[in-house]
Structure 1
Amino acid sequence: YQFFEDGFVVRHNLLKQDQLQSTIHGIERVVDEMAHELYQAGKIQDLHENDGFYQRLTAIDAQFPGAAVLLHKRGVLPQEIASLWSNETLLSVAQQLLGPDIAGHPVWNLRSKVIQKKYMYILVHRFVGT
């Protein structure tokens, strides 16, 4: 009832940590592939392999401005994200809120954002069909 009364629901620990960690590994793999492609093309001099998940793409983008946009434009959906989207717990919550006829948006590519990059300040919008 909270959703219908307040317009939101807070559910702590809805997903298990290993499910989220798997998704992080999938994203790390895509970033690593792109980093190696940029390195082989001579666009970056450091792969930043020792940088953490939350820092690596920003460091790569600092060497080659636009790398974060390239990651988005690759149009790659890591299997780990696909698995998260089809997670029974998330689907159950979505069905409880929206009903049984649901679908994910077909624009499934990874949308990254790095710190203080003017070209990444975009308006985020979603259209909901009725």
Structure 2
Amino acid sequence: MFFTPRIRTELLRHPGLSLHHGSTPDWMGTRVDGVHWLNFLGHPVLQEQGGVSALRSRLHSPETTVQAIDETRALVTLGTWPEAGDLTRGDALPAYREFGRVLEPWLDKPFTRPRFRVEGFTQEEAMKWARRFIG
């Protein structure tokens, strides 16, 4: 992927902006591709979290909702609408960070494979960006 200096700057400033490489690759398996405004979880992630009630009990941000779709699937919504955040103003999207910490064991590590190098980012910057809701 290639990003202009302007896009790079905006991605590093606004943690809620997503960076995608297209469809979900087969090698990702059951890992989660990141933290988003709307997050659909199913087996095995939801089961390993202990189900909907257990997941809900681990998320304390008032704007976060966890809705059961059925016994094995849930929708986690991080606020009323998508947020970009703005690190220059101290808006680091705390609900997204809380959910990122809960999901960390299941999150994909997208930039560890050479074919997913991001032009305009150092490898360290790409990894930091991918983990922006975990630290």
Query: Higher relative contact order by CA 8 Å / sep ≥ 6: 1 or 2?
Result: 2
Same fold (TM over 0.5): no
Larger Rg: 1
Task: Decide which structure has greater helix share.
Answer: 1
